[in-house]
A = this chain, B = another copy of it.
Amino acid sequence: MTEQLVGKLRSDARDNRDRIVEAAREAFASDGLDVPMREVARRAGVGLATVYRRFPTKEALLTAAFAEQMQACERVLDEALTVPDPWAGLCRAIDKVLALHALDSGFARAMTAQYPRVFDFADGRDRSLRKLLGLMRRAKESGGLRPDVVLEDVVLAMMANDGIRAESPELRLAATRRFAALMLQSFSARPVPLPLPPAVRLPLTVRA
């Protein structure tokens, strides 16, 4: 084979991989994590065999699809751990993680799903959750976080965040910001005024 042809084949292979990962992200977001590999292949415009050659398991595909988001999530937690006031760090982390999830429902579900076979993905997730737990411990010691709030409460907030719907990504993000503020209010040992006016627009004739 000429060098040019080898280069072309490599570039095609890379294009295929990118297309599959992109299609998987979209499919997970719209159809949930149980979407068949067949559907991912259809969306990517490649054969099913190509998908399996690249990603032998659903877990491998899930890990690849959410690699960037998982890294972003870990970065948020690492940054939060450097904030001198642990409660301020925790507030920032929860606000940012819920915002990340609001923009990618597939990732949000993957972070909270019962998906015991997802070894690689679960590793990344557990790493993030361990950091979150460390942050919570420090925030409790500093007196900012209520002692009776547990890790499961933050995960419950992540799940609940995924139930929020809005007409546009901007409104969705604004609603999630308000929701994060409400949850942090609940977690706080020292309640403060809510920071934002409500962002969710309702189909109501009823007004406060």
Interface residues of A (CB under 8 A from B): 112-116, 122, 125-126, 129-130, 133, 136, 146, 148-153, 155-157, 159-165, 167, 175, 178-179, 182-183, 185-187, 191, 193-194, 198, 200, 202-208
Q: How far is the CB of A111 from chain B (nearest CB, A)?
A: 10
CA distance A162 to B191 in the complex (A): 26
Interface contact B202-A155, CB-CB below 8 Å: yes
Contact (Cβ within 8 A) B163 A164: yes
Instruction: Please name all residues of chain B whose beta carbon is closer than 8 Å to the beta carbon of A179 when the two chains form the complex.
Output: 156, 160
User: Which of B112, B115, B162, B164 sits near A156, CB closer than 8 Å?
Assistant: B164
A148-B193, A164-B163 known; A182 vs B206 contact (CB < 8 Å): no
Contact of B182 with A186 in the complex, beta carbons under 8 Å: yes
Q: Is A159 within 8 A of B164, CB to CB? A: yes
Q: Is the CB of B130 within 8 A of A206?
A: yes
> Which residues of chain B have C-beta atoms less than 8 A from A146's C-beta?
191, 194
B150 touches A159 (CB 8 A): no
Pairs A–B under 8 Å by Cβ, sample size 27 = A112-B202, A114-B167, A114-B203, A116-B203, A122-B203, A125-B204, A126-B205, A126-B206, A133-B206, A136-B208, A146-B194, A151-B207, A151-B208, A152-B200, A152-B208, A155-B204, A156-B179, A156-B182, A156-B200, A157-B182, A159-B163, A159-B165, A160-B160, A160-B161, A162-B163, A182-B186, A186-B186
A125, A178, A202: most-surrounded residue (chain B CB, <10 A): A202
Which of A183, A194, A206 gathers most chain B CB within 10 Å? Answer: A206
Q: Is A150 within 8 A of B198, CB to CB? A: yes
Given A182-B183, A183-B186, also A156-B175 (CB < 8 A): yes
Inter-chain pairs besides A112-B202, A126-B205, A150-B208, 7 sampled, C-beta below 8 Å: A146-B194, A148-B194, A152-B200, A155-B200, A155-B202, A157-B182, A159-B164
